[in-house]
Amino acid sequence: MSAPTLHCRDVPPRLAFALEQAGVHPLLARLFAARGVRTPDDLDDGLGRLLPPDALKGADAAASLLADAIDARQRICIVADYDCDGATACAVALRGLALLGASRDLLRYVVPDRQLHGYGLTPAIVELARAHEPALLVTVDNGIASDAGVAHARALGIQVLITDHHLPALVDGQVRLPEADVIVNPNQPDCGFPSKALAGVGVMFYVLLAARAELRRRGRFDAATQPRLDALLDLVALGTVADVVKLDDNNRRLVAQGLKRVRAGRMQPGLAALFTAAGRFPQRASAFDFGYALGPRINAAGRLADMTLGIECLVTDDAARAAALAAQLDGINRERRELEAGMREQAEALLERRVPADDGAPGAPPALVLFDPEFHEGVVGIVAGRMKDRLHRPTFVFARGSDGLLKGSGRSIAGFHLRDALDLVSKRHPGVLRRFGGHAMAAGCTIGAEDLATFDAALQQVAREVLQPEALNRTLAHDGSLPVEYFCVDTVERIDAQVWGQGFEAPVFCDEVDVLQQRLVGEKHLKLRVRHAALAGGPVRDAIWFGRTEPLPPRVRLAYRLSLDEFQGQQRLQMVIEAAG
């Protein structure tokens, strides 16, 4: 991986001072100010500070549709997706509708098989759902581009409510929406909802809030007796973090509320079981746990097996069954890691043949497209992310699907909107993209094997046109030097108690150190003993650089995170190195 350019975040002094004067810890005041927090109100994560559902286009109509179905005791079928956002959204829908009065006997769900059904509400998925004889289909985390599936459902007399957060399809430069009964999506035209970054699970949660208000108007319950939908926020938080959406103020509040419930032991049995399977501690839960421990175990089911396992783990109220399902998910995740490791080696070999030198080599293309007949469709997204990080280029990785077509998953860098790039490729080369969709930083597409070279050349051409040369140089933003008095366990715990994530990155500090000792552990990690260069005779710190094998010079500037290393019941402070410069 190429060395990034280290860049210190700007800290507006007046903002930092105002936050500190308002009672925010001095270190946190500095970190928050650098991330755009302007007032203590921005840090208020109370439920009352959540955006109301009123501005979410379609929410009122969706509420009426759901309330009518509940009142008429109609069958409702949730059409889920095969990632963690889709699984948590499905669980939120099933649990939330039951809380609002829907009979559990009338609630069903279907989830596509990644290799058999493809993505979204396809006609095949409608047929799968049809077996449950639903009056209403509710999509979660999908459906915004499902024209054929929606048309098929409505032709069968089945109503369709789409809840999604993906960008709508573009046809000849115009947004095209499926002809569903109701669409709720903050990214559809004319939706004034301030948070466009809601995850799919967040959209479904907001639809339930609107449905509760509608049922309250109908006299089902009053404000004192209405169901507590905040009991679902542990699931909302998990799906939001796992989908790597931007943690704007509203998403941070959703995640913060979910974390509070988990830390207090108020969570679904499935989440408790997943914490146990991952060897993590709910009472110290962080967004990191959701993104790197629980989320991957749920995602593994959709990648290698059947997401039904993940959804069942999240909807069961039986702790023993939840534990068994979590253990099964943990096993699948171990298999996923092994498969990913093999694919990464293959991808790196392809990369070395194509780009022999490091980032910035004369032959380095502005975008990467990788394919090997042995690649597994379920892991292409993860590998694309790894390759993107290694060379700092927009990257697509393809695998052959069961239908013979190539299924690709892409990951991007700042300054290159991946979904828009695919749209441009589609316009310039009609027919090459059989289907595509996604976001700015992540997208997917399907192509014929014969069109791989055309797609590769077309994506590179778009990248040459769009990306400025400086955008191809990796940078790492850091928060400057960490004062020596803050090198303590309290600092780690104070930082870990906050909500960090996409668009509100966790703190990374930067200091010059003297390297006193260094050795390899596990054959691929560099273990260090260092001392701050400015503190001659000062304390010696433990440090580790995961995935680094090359030794460091005697004196070096390091960008690092603080963490607690737990071993045999002992907690030790250590620096986790992110980069050197």
pLDDT recorded at residue 2: 65
Q: Which residues partner with 576 through β-bridges? A: 544, 561
Average pLDDT of span 537-565 = 94
Q: Are residues 488 and 397 in the same domain?
A: no
For residue 254, the SS3 value is helix
Cα 386 to Cα 506: distance, rounded to the nearest angstrom: 20
For the cut 50, the answer to whether the pLDDT of residue 359 exceeds it is no
Q: Is residue 177 part of a domain?
A: yes
Residue 263's pLDDT band (cuts 50, 70, 90): very high
Share of the chain above pLDDT 70, in %: 98
Domain coverage including residue 402: 355-472
How many degrees, rounded to 5, is the angle at CA 335 between CA 568 and CA 269? 65
pLDDT recorded at residue 499: 96
pLDDT recorded at residue 384: 96
Radius of gyration in angstroms for the set of CA atoms belonging to the chain, rounded to a whole number:
24
pLDDT recorded at residue 201: 98
Q: Is residue 36 part of a domain?
A: no
CATH number of the domain to which 196 belongs: 3.90.1640.30
Q: Are residues 145 and 230 in the same domain?
A: yes
**Beta pairing, strands 509-521 & 555-567:** antiparallel
Average pLDDT of span 285-306 = 95
pLDDT recorded at residue 233: 98
Tell me if 398 sits within 8 A of 348, measured CB to CB.
no
pLDDT recorded at residue 265: 97
- Domain-terminating residue out of 442, 472, 502: 472
Which residues, other chains included, contact 72 with Cβ-Cβ below 8 Å and sequence gap of 6+?
A: 135
Q: Is residue 343 part of a domain?
A: no
Model pTM score:
0.93
Q: Is residue 427 part of a domain?
A: yes
For the cut 50, the answer to whether the pLDDT of residue 430 exceeds it is yes
Q: Are residues 370 and 427 in the same domain?
A: yes
- The residue written with tokens 């208020």 in the block is 44
Average pLDDT of span 47-68 = 97
Higher pLDDT among residues 305 and 91, named by residue: 91
pLDDT, one tens digit per residue, over 196-255 is: 999 999 999 999 999 999 999 999 999 999 999 999 999 999 999 999 999 999 999 999
Q: Is residue 15 part of a domain?
A: no
pLDDT recorded at residue 357: 52
Q: Across the chain, what does the average pLDDT equal?
A: 94
Q: Are residues 77 and 142 in the same domain?
A: yes
Q: Are residues 549 and 456 in the same domain?
A: no
Q: Is 519 exposed, middle or buried (0-12, 13-18, 19+ CB in 10 A)?
A: exposed
pLDDT recorded at residue 356: 62
Which DSSP letter does residue 501 get?
A: B
For the cut 90, the answer to whether the pLDDT of residue 150 exceeds it is yes
- Mark 319-358 as b/e (b = at least 16 C-beta within 10 Å): eeebbebbebbbebbeebeebbeebbeebeebbeeebeee
pLDDT recorded at residue 523: 84
Q: Are residues 312 and 371 in the same domain?
A: no
Q: Is residue 86 part of a domain?
A: yes
Average pLDDT of span 166-187 = 92
pLDDT recorded at residue 1: 55
- Dihedrals φ, ψ of 83, to 5°? -120, 180
What is the number of structural domains in the chain? Answer: 3
- Domain-terminating residue out of 472, 493, 525: 472
Tell me if 256 sits within 8 A of 499, measured CB to CB.
yes
Distance of CA 75 to CAs 62, 64, 106, 318, Å? 16, 15, 5, 24
- Domain-terminating residue out of 298, 332, 366: 332
Q: Is residue 381 part of a domain?
A: yes
Q: Are residues 188 and 60 in the same domain?
A: yes
Average pLDDT of span 192-196 = 96
Q: Is residue 33 part of a domain?
A: no
SS (H, E, C) 373-435: CCCCHHHHHHHHHHHHHHHCCCEEEEEECCCCCEEEEEECCCCCCHHHHHHHHHHHCCCCEEE
For the cut 50, the answer to whether the pLDDT of residue 360 exceeds it is no
Q: Are residues 223 and 181 in the same domain?
A: yes
For the cut 80, the answer to whether the pLDDT of residue 567 exceeds it is no
CATH number of the domain to which 445 belongs: 3.10.310.30
pLDDT recorded at residue 536: 80
CATH number of the domain to which 480 belongs: 2.40.50.460
pLDDT recorded at residue 171: 80
Q: Tokens for 51?
A: 């955006």
Q: Are residues 262 and 138 in the same domain?
A: yes
Q: Are residues 461 and 505 in the same domain?
A: no
Q: Tokens for 236?
A: 């909302």
For the cut 50, the answer to whether the pLDDT of residue 296 exceeds it is yes
Cα 561 to Cα 484: distance, rounded to the nearest angstrom: 14
Q: Are residues 310 and 376 in the same domain?
A: no
Q: Are residues 158 and 251 in the same domain?
A: yes
